[in-house]
Chains A and B, each alone.
Chain A
Amino acid sequence: MKILTGNDLKSGAVTWWAGSYWSLHVEDAVDVGEGGEAILAREMGARRVNAAYVIDAVSTAEGPRPAHIKDRIRALGPTVRLDLSLKPADPQVGAWVI
């Protein structure tokens, strides 16, 4: 599957295209198929997101898992500061990245 990610203009936070809005949670990301570039052009033109791009992801029971480690780190936060991640209470969250 293909999903979209970028950074929120004002906060810089990593965001994921959820079909009609940008979510902070990769689980909300939707498969954009071949339509990613058109969505990016529209959304970046609307200045809702910065530096957005299309990535490959794998569909899992928990939601999309980005194919590349860089995007998994973006989805979670620094692997060396899991206390700052989006899921600080989840002991398995580091394994999801690696």
Chain B
Amino acid sequence: MYQYDKYDQALVDARVADFRDQVARRIAGEISEDQFKPLRLMNGLYLQLHAYMLRVAIPYGTLNSTQMHMLAHIARKYDRDYAHFTTRQNIQYNWIKLEDAPDILADLASVEMHAIQTSGNCIRNISSDQFAGAAADEVTDPRPWAEFLRQWSTFHPEFSYLPRKFKIAVIASKEDRAAMRLHDIGLELVKKDGVLGARVFVGGGMGRTPMIAPEINPFVTADDLLSYLEACLRVYNRYGRRDNIYKARIKILIHEIGADAYRAQVEEEFKHVKTLGIDPPAAEFERIASYFAPPAFKSAPDDGLDLSDSTFAAWVKQNTFAHKQPGYIGVTISLKPIDGIPGDASSAQIDVMAELAKQYSFDELRVTHAQNIVLPHVAKRDLKAVYDVLAANGLGTANLDQITDIIACPGLDYCSLANARSIPVAQKIAQRFADAERQADIGELKLKISGCINACGHHHAGHIGILGVDRKGVENYQLTLGGSGAEDASIGKITGPGFDEDGIVDAVERAVEKYLSVRTDGERFLDTYRRVGMEPFKEAVYG
């Protein structure tokens, strides 16, 4: 994986020193909260319901074991012995003290990490496919491009004060595992006549106005990609609305002027930008790409696994994926135990995952947007040993992409923006569907819960989505059906009136039972919904 050069390290170290001074001045009363707030937000430090919350960037969700151990250390030393992995492939700490924040950032910097651009109206953490570099179906490894974009966007002077925050995802497979079309810019790396380039999608997003990004350009060559993205951002920066925070995202701009008009503006700007020479020389890209060379896989016979242990067999079936290298397999560690909190892990569990990566996965881990952790490169012969350690540490749940593998935002239990709690609803649904056979019978069903319209829990993209709202001071939950964040991206539709906390669990169960009663062979919940439409589900839910 990428390693900082002296410039990267100097930038991060300087930022820590700056923030240490700013915090000292704030505590000494030399600057007001109004003056300080934008400074702390630039360093990922929010004030949430119970304390300060620190959001740490995990570029394209990729970590090594040293970094993962540091995340555990921070949780143990400065927080309450746990942390929360987010739908942006980042990590958040919920109980941070302002006076500790500079030391935490210094600790992060010591392992080439930071919290820069995890807040504010700038280009946020670049997200990507958690199976990058391992997936059998990728046309190239998207991580060098994600890193390339990270370097381009970090402290970009022109894009530090955009009309609104800006999120970019990069994938390189037909199968979209990163909700790419629900980003402000989504890139799908493709090859055309042997030439590498990207399909460019612009103007997707969730929040209060969910939109699927239209394709703005079917093929931008790799040589032109940075200039093209610069043009995309420039047009947004010029015309994006700054008068209304709810209409400031690029999706609104494109919706208002139309994709064709936006595309024409970008093409015009691109002609100019291309003269500036910002696309890097091939040697620089190769330098970055060299950090992502495949690990030293050992040739091993691709023997079958001993699946005589039924619990292990169930986990292998559900939580592993095909690796491009014979003899290897990818592992997704579920952070969704039935009675757990989606995305939460204790310091000890984080350390366990770090050690497993070090011992069995070429020192690599990934965070997924579904709030799970990936060990991307595990030799098949080691798989049982990995599973045994995971299971012994509460990390062996076999439910990937099933109804209990729920995405949930922190909700009203932690978040100052939330209107309703998400986690208790996730827990009740998980308990209702805990039976492994029942989950297996239901099959793939992506259930996502947000505690407010900002949609951090991706409810719009859930096969079943739940949105928590405040109804005259009481928590209420709306149900949506038919969303998808995958290559068949779609926005879920609301079924009708909302429910209370127990009512929404019953409503989900009635929708699932309806699916089971009308599905045809091989149909997922989403397929059945798309075939039969909303009405049968509505009748079932509201009876």
Indicate whether A and B interact.
Answer: yes
Q: Report if A12-B98 is in contact (Cβ < 8 Å); known contacts: A7-B47, A69-B475, A80-B427.
A: yes
A19 at interface by CB-CB < 8 Å: no
B51, B96, B341 — most chain A CB neighbours (10 Å): B51
What is the CB-to-nearest-CB distance from B36 to chain A, in angstroms, rounded to a whole number?
A: 9
Whether the Cβ atoms of A78 and B97 lie closer than 8 Å is: no
**A49 — nearest CB in chain B belongs to which residue?**
B33
User: What 1/0 mask marks residues of chain B from 82 to 119 whose CB sits below 8 Å from any chain A CB?
Assistant: 00000000000001111100000000000000000000
Q: Report if A68-B29 is in contact (Cβ < 8 Å); known contacts: A12-B98, A73-B49, A78-B414.
A: no
User: What 1/0 mask marks residues of chain B from 44 to 59 whose CB sits below 8 Å from any chain A CB?
Assistant: 0001011110000000
Chain A hits for B97, CB < 8 A? 10-12
User: What 1/0 mask marks residues of chain A from 78 to 90 whose CB sits below 8 Å from any chain B CB?
Assistant: 1111001000000
Whether the Cβ atoms of A11 and B98 lie closer than 8 Å is: yes
B17 at interface by CB-CB < 8 Å: no
Whether the Cβ atoms of A47 and B29 lie closer than 8 Å is: yes
State A78–B412 Cα separation when bound (angstroms): 8
What is the CB-to-nearest-CB distance from B153 to chain A, in angstroms, rounded to a whole number?
A: 29
Interface residues of A: mostly helix, strand, loop or mixed? Answer: loop
Interface residues of B: mostly helix, strand, loop or mixed? Answer: mixed
B424 at interface by CB-CB < 8 Å: yes
User: Which of A10, A51, A67, A74 is the one whose CB lies under 8 Å from B50?
Assistant: A74
Whether the Cβ atoms of A79 and B473 lie closer than 8 Å is: no
Q: Report if A12-B47 is in contact (Cβ < 8 Å); known contacts: A47-B29, A68-B473, A69-B412.
A: yes
Whether the Cβ atoms of B96 and A12 lie closer than 8 Å is: yes
State A79–B427 Cα separation when bound (angstroms): 12
A64 at interface by CB-CB < 8 Å: no
Whether the Cβ atoms of A14 and B50 lie closer than 8 Å is: yes
B421 at interface by CB-CB < 8 Å: yes
**B46 — nearest CB in chain A belongs to which residue?**
A12
- Residues of B that sit less than 8 Å from A by CB: 26-27, 29, 32-33, 47, 49-52, 80, 95-99, 341, 412-414, 418, 421, 423-424, 427, 473-475
Given contacts A9-B27, A12-B50, 20 further A-B contacts (CB under 8 A): A7-B51, A10-B98, A11-B51, A11-B99, A12-B51, A12-B52, A14-B50, A47-B32, A47-B33, A50-B47, A69-B473, A73-B421, A77-B50, A79-B413, A80-B341, A80-B413, A80-B421, A80-B424, A81-B341, A84-B95
